Amino acid sequence: KAGVTQTPRYLIKTRGQQVTLSCSPISGHRSVSWYQQTPGQGLQFLFEYFSETQRNKGNFPGRFSGRQFSNSRSEMNVSTLELGDSALYLCASSLGQAVYTEAFFGQGTRLTVV
Amino acid sequence: DAKTTQPNSMESNEEEPVHLPCNHSTISGTDYIHWYRQLPSQGPEYVIHGLTSNVNNRMASLAIAEDRKSSTLILHRATLRDAAVYYCILRGSGGSNYKLTFGKGTLLTVNP
């Protein structure tokens, strides 16, 4: 079966702009989570959506937002980009919300802010 | 968030077993122990999880201490493709413990 698809794979944006990243989960998966990975901070949780509702949120400023559509696809938006937002953004999908559920990660979107 | 402690790095030789330790002394009774790994230039990949009993799957085995304060991920025969960062994560129900919280992990180097 198809895995988690993230688009685009690479992105270069200018400071102050906004960006939207997309994640298509595995078919049938209803939970989508987003993570930011940087060399300094490692993998940090951004937020999680289940059935179009945000269920969990990490410690990121309000410039970071997301949403989930009825087909479980998810988008993440970052407004007023800063140089420090340069990172690999990873999306993970799960069948449900049980704590024993396996998460499947996409390849990520590499965002560079210049 | 429930915390785990792992060595920063470990080294192994190809075809030898590898034991990756993880300490989680503050684990609660309902926390599951999950292991993920991240190969270079890829997203994390699920390896195994367990609650109380030892677990085996096609990738690895998970040995959980009787008091659940520590666990060990066992790769029975390391290959070069197993070189990755391995993350030990506690995942519990409710609140902030539900999400996957990644620490620094253990960087495993496999020598040919």
**Residue A85 pLDDT:** 98
- Percent of chain A past pLDDT 90, that is, above it, reads 87
**Residue A90 pLDDT:** 97
**Rounded-to-integer distance, Cα A92 and Cα A33, Å:** 5
A105/B45 touch (CB, cutoff 8 Å), yes or no: yes
**Residue A1 pLDDT:** 62
Structure tokens at B73: 């991920």
**Residue A100 pLDDT:** 79
**Rounded-to-integer distance, Cα A85 and Cα A89, Å:** 10
Q: Does B8 touch chain A (CB under 8 A)?
A: no
Nearest Cα residue in chain A from B38: A105
For residue range A35-54, what is the model confidence (pLDDT) as tens digits?
A: 999 998 999 999 999 999 99
A100/B32 touch (CB, cutoff 8 Å), yes or no: yes
The CA distance from A79 to the nearest CA of chain B, in Å, is: 24
Q: Does A90 touch chain B (CB under 8 A)?
A: yes
Q: Does B3 touch chain A (CB under 8 A)?
A: no
What is the dihedral sign for C-alpha A69, A56, A113, A93? negative
**Which tops the pLDDT comparison, B48 or B28?**
B48
Q: Does B57 touch chain A (CB under 8 A)?
A: no
For residue range B50-104, what is the model confidence (pLDDT) as tens digits?
A: 999 999 999 999 999 999 999 999 999 999 999 999 999 998 876 666 778 888 9
**Rounded-to-integer distance, Cα B101 and Cα A109, Å:** 20
For residue range A19-36, what is the model confidence (pLDDT) as tens digits?
A: 999 999 999 999 999 999
Cα A68 off chain centre by:
11
All residues of chain A having their beta carbon less than 8 Å from the beta carbon of residue B94 are none
Q: What pLDDT band is residue A17 in, cutting at 50, 70 and 90?
A: very high
What residue type is A34 in one-letter code? W
For residue range B17-35, what is the model confidence (pLDDT) as tens digits?
A: 999 999 999 998 889 999 9
Q: Does A95 touch chain B (CB under 8 A)?
A: no
Nearest Cα residue in chain A from B94: A99
Structure tokens at A48: 């999680």
Q: Which residues contact A53 (CB under 8 A, 6 or more apart)?
A: A68
**Rounded-to-integer distance, Cα B48 and Cα B67, Å:** 19
Q: By the 8 A CB rule, do A26 and A3 touch?
A: yes
In chain B, positions 80-99, which contact chain A (CB-CB < 8 Å)? 87, 91-93, 96, 98-99
In chain A, positions 55-74, which contact chain B (CB-CB < 8 Å)? 56, 58
Whether B1 shows a pLDDT value over 70: the answer reads: no
- Percent of chain A past pLDDT 70, that is, above it, reads 99
